[in-house]
Structure 1
């Protein structure tokens, strides 16, 4: 996957827009970060991943999921896009999008499924 692939997926959801965060491309929902590209150009910063889930992801798929000391105390996992598949990334992004989007937008999206 690439960040362009991530963009295509997320921009199909209501209230998602392009932005930047820490000088890198990001996708935002109502001005809050959905995901951003890490400075290395290959890793996706994925917020709202509880630490127990992050540990399970890193342990089960260490080539795809990881975190650095900087993110150790935050509910964030890093995803190597070059090693990831849409089936891996999309559900995590969609779950976070549902937390950030308005109830009205989520309801409208679900009605069109």
Structure 2
């Protein structure tokens, strides 16, 4: 089980991450680009960016921590249930999402 505060703490470990808002909801950004957003929609969840292959694999595994909605069909993003996600998986997915949005100068 993770909280938004824990997501923010993990994000703070990544260079140039700032807590912000995105679509009027809590978010993390790097260089002004959102890479994590806490959804307030009925389904909730944390939006993170990933490759389409990774998204398909996460969903196919049947882990209830990962889901999507029709709005995200065909998009490289996954929804994460913070009440169910493993802490290490959250860290890895958050880092990957950051890497996809961070400027090249920050990604090593």
Decide whether aligned partners of structure 1 residues 36 and 59 sit closer, same or farther in structure 2, where only a CA change above 3 A counts: same
Shift of residue 101 of structure 1?
2.9
List gaps (5 residues or longer) in structure 1.
108-113
Q: What's 2:45 paired with?
A: 43
Match of 2:93 in 1: 92
Give per-residue Cα distances to partners, 1:58-100, cap 9 Å, x unaligned: 1214311010000002111100000012111111111222333
In the alignment, the residues of structure 1 paired with residue 13 and residue 56 of structure 2 have an alpha-carbon distance, to the nearest angstrom, of 30
The 2-side partners of 1:69 and 1:62 are apart by 18
Larger radius of gyration: 1
Moved more, 87-96 or 34-43: 34-43
- In structure 2, what is the equivalent of residue 29 of structure 1? 30
Say what the alpha-carbon RMSD is for the aligned residues: 1.8
Q: Tell me the TM-score normalised to structure 1 length.
A: 0.83
What TM-score does the superposition give when structure 2 sets the normalisation length? 0.86
Runs of 4+ in 1 over 4 A off after TM superposition: none
Query: Could you say which residue in structure 2 is the equivalent of 1:75?
Result: 76
How far off its partner does 1:103 sit? 4.1
Task: List runs of 5+ in structure 2 lacking aligned partners.
Answer: none
Alpha-carbon separation, structure 2, partners of 1:36 and 1:70: 15
* Deviation string, structure 1 residues 13-44 (Cα, Å, up to 9, x no partner): 21000111111100000000110001148510
SS in 2 for 1:26: strand
Aligned counterpart, 2:55: 54
